[in-house]
Amino acid sequence: MTTEAISVRWVSLGRLAYDDALAAQQAQSEKLLAGSGDEQTVYAVEHPPTITIGRGGSRDHIVAPPSELERIDMTVREVDRGGDVTYHGPGQFVLYPILHLEPWGNDIGRYVRMLEECAIRVLAEVGITADRMEGFPGVWVGNNKICAIGVRARRRPSGEFVTSHGIALNVTTDLSHFQTIIPCGLADKGVTSVAQELGLTEPFDFAAWEKRMQHAFTDVFNVQLQAAAS
């Protein structure tokens, strides 16, 4: 495990369909798994309305009828990350780190906590006190989740983990869209956003939130970021 800052390629995708971002993740992940590349990469993105169902999820946790999903142009995808059902949409900042984890002790639990720490620091920067909740991955404000986490880890032949998927931070997200699902399968917990916590009405500024997350990610993971063309 190194103590020196390592280089991470940061790719800003902006607003992009879920399938296209997933394809980029998968292509980079396969390179790392096959040993045909070693580049640490992070994708920053915002999605149109999309429901994703993780490996531990169920379509039973989508509670809106198909007609309502069609009305709001909602895409539904089953994906290979951990966790249950979650929502992505406009006003949500999404981060997909495709990393091989030896520089961080090859420790998945530590990696998840580091992602949570990034979100906690970003939220503190705008005046929101958020924290972890024992037994429930993600970042919370009270009983309401403000940042979801869903990660997949696969092993290289060497045993080193390679990550995909990541975190989704609700900034100006339309929280009514979460009513189409039981978020993460937790009927007794709610969701919130930066806009709701602070009473903001400004539109989502992707670049500003990306800059905040870059600073937090640099500090928490001890890396040097290299901007790359999308």
Ramachandran angles phi, psi of 135, nearest 5° = 90, -5
Mean pLDDT calculated for residue range 105-115: 97
Residue 79's pLDDT band, with cuts at 50, 70 and 90, is confident
| pLDDT(1) > 50 | no
Asked if the model's pLDDT at residue 229 lies above 70, the reply is: no
The answer to whether 184 is a known catalytic residue is yes
Query: Residue 38: pLDDT above 70?
Result: yes
Alpha helices (H) along the chain? 18-34, 66-71, 108-125, 194-198, 206-221
pLDDT at 150 over 50: yes
Percent of the chain with pLDDT over 90: 74
Specify the range with the lowest mean pLDDT, choosing from 32-36, 41-45, 178-182: 178-182
Q: What share of residues in the chain are helix, strand, coil (percent, to 5)?
A: 35, 35, 35
Instruction: Of 37-46, 107-116, 179-188, give the lowest mean pLDDT range.
Output: 179-188
* pLDDT band with cut points at 50, 70 and 90 for residue 230: low
Over 50: is that where the pLDDT of 221 sits? yes
Q: List the chain domain ranges.
A: 6-228
121 is in an annotated binding site: no
Tokens of 179: 């009513």
Is CATH 3.30.930.10 what the domain over 6-228 is classified as, yes or no? yes
| pLDDT, mean of residues 85-107 | 96
Average pLDDT of every residue of the chain: 92
Three-class DSSP category at 191: strand
89 annotated among ligand-binding-site residues: no
Assess whether pLDDT exceeds 70 at residue 92.
yes
Q: Is the pLDDT of residue 187 over 80?
A: no
Q: What is the CA radius of gyration of the chain?
A: 17
pLDDT for res 119 = 98
Q: Is 17 annotated as a binding residue?
A: no
More confident residue, 168 or 55: 168
Overall average pLDDT of the 186-214 stretch: 92
Q: Is 149 annotated as a binding residue?
A: yes
Higher pLDDT, 61 or 33: 33
Q: Say if residue 167 carries a ligand binding annotation.
A: yes
- Report whether 3 belongs to an annotated binding site: no
Tell the burial category of 29 from Cβ atoms under 10 Å away from its Cβ (0-12, 13-18, 19+): buried
Question: Is the pLDDT at 2 greater than 60, yes or no?
Answer: no
- Which of these is catalytic: 22, 42, 184, 220? 184
